[in-house]
């Protein structure tokens, strides 16, 4: 198969920990042709979506991990699958990319994940469709509502709807002297909508990333355990990743949410679960494949390539 990956700049990708690299490595092992492009390489000429793409060869080195061939312009429909793996931020340029990819899809391209679903499933807000798996949650930009929610719950977490990697996530107690400034900062004085959730004490045991592929969860989660003094388990915030088998509750959440999102064109998702509760649904570029493989020997990348071959072949 010919596979095109929409990626961040290649020099920013760490081959020893990146899930996109793990997928490319598995695809190369299976003999598939690899091509790479970036958001700015997408274009629509008249009605046809094309892109400047580069053939990609993996060198097997840790740092100088790729060689690029000569660039060419090709219709995206020429590829067996186009994997959208651009990291957030989810800004307007990302939205424009989904418009282009959606047009390419109408022309016969197989885009993973489905571009319309990438737009529709905000990675924070989308948990509101699965409330039987969540703690009490509030989405608003009104300070009075947030204060009332804090008074009711006693201990909450506030986060922006467009954040990633644990950025701008705050924990607030009812007696915190910084309640006002935190709310003002996050909501931009009532101009930006945010999410509030009841604090989950089980975060000390890790924020579990569960990878779900074509509706089925991988058998291991990556528990991101916060460093001392932190309430965020994100690896980008200094958390430590520990692979562990799924619990019965993990599997229940993953199978129900995975089936619903699979039906909407999301082949690969990453669920964040703290204790017994779903906290986020990652659809843009879920990670954790390398850590799970390194610690358990189970290849989530192989599971993903099986799904790509099954659905695009």
Helix axes 300-312 and 19-29, enclosed angle (nearest 10)? 60
CA 176 to chain centre: 32
Spatial contact of 111 and 42, defined as CB atoms under 8 Å apart: no
Per annotation, catalytic residue among 110, 114, 208, 209? 209
Catalytic residue (choose from 113, 272, 290, 291)? 272
Q: Is 198 a catalytic residue?
A: no
Nearest CA to 246 out of 200, 288, 304 is that of 288
Query: Do the bridges between strand 72-75 and strand 207-213 make them parallel or antiparallel, or are there none, so unpaired?
Result: unpaired
DSSP code for 177: T
The residue annotated as part of the active site, out of 224, 262, 290, 291, is 224
Which tokens go with 300?
A: 């989530």
Give the active site residue among 207, 282, 290, 291: 282
**DSSP symbol at 219:** S
Q: 208 an active-site residue? A: no
Per annotation, catalytic residue among 232, 250, 262, 290? 232
Given the residues 85, 124, 198, 208, the one annotated as active site = 124
* Residue 272 falls in the annotated catalytic set: yes
Q: Indicate if 255 belongs to the active site.
A: no
Catalytic status, residue 62: no
Diameter over CA atoms, the chain = 61
Catalytic, 280? Answer yes
Q: Which of 114, 280, 290, 291 is catalytic?
A: 280
C-alpha to C-alpha distances, 113 to 109, 171, 240, 269, nearest whole angstrom = 12, 32, 28, 9
Which of 159, 198, 208, 262 is labelled catalytic?
159
**Which residues carry out catalysis?**
124, 159, 209, 224, 232, 272, 280, 282
């Amino acid at each position: 198969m010919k596979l095109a990956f929409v990626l961040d700049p290649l020099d920013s990708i760490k081959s020893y920990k990146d899930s996109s690299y793990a997928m490319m490595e598995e695809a190369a092992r299976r003999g598939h042709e690899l091509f790479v492009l970036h958001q700015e390489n997408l274009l629509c000429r008249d009605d046809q979506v094309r892109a400047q793409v580069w053939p990609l060869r993996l060198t097997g080195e840790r740092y100088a991990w790729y060689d690029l061939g000569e660039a060419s312009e090709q219709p995206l429909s020429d590829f067996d699958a186009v994997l959208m793996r651009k990291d957030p931020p989810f800004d307007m340029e990302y939205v424009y990319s989904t418009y282009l990819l959606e047009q390419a899809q109408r022309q016969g391209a197989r885009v993973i994940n489905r571009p319309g679903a990438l737009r529709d499933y905000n990675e924070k807000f989308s948990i509101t469709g699965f409330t039987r798996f969540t703690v009490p949650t509030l989405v608003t930009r009104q300070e009075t509502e947030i204060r009332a929610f804090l008074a009711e719950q006693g201990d909450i977490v506030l986060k922006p709807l467009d954040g990633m990697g644990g950025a701008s996530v705050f924990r607030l107690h009812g007696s915190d002297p910084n309640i006002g400034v935190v709310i003002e900062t996050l909501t931009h004085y009532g101009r930006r909508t945010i999410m509030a959730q009841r604090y989950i004490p089980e975060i000390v045991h890790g924020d579990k990333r569960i990878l779900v592929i074509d509706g089925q969860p991988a058998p291991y989660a990556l528990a991101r355990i916060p460093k001392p003094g932190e309430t965020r388990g994100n690896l980008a915030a200094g958390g430590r990743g520990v692979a562990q088998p799924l619990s019965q509750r993990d599997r229940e959440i993953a199978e129900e949410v995975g089936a619903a999102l699979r039906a909407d064109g999301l082949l690969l998702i990453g669920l964040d679960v703290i204790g017994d509760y779903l906290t986020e649904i990652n659809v843009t570029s879920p990670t954790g494949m390398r850590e799970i493989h390194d610690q358990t020997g189970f290849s989530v990348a192989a599971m993903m390539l099986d799904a790509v071959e099954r659905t695009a072949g």
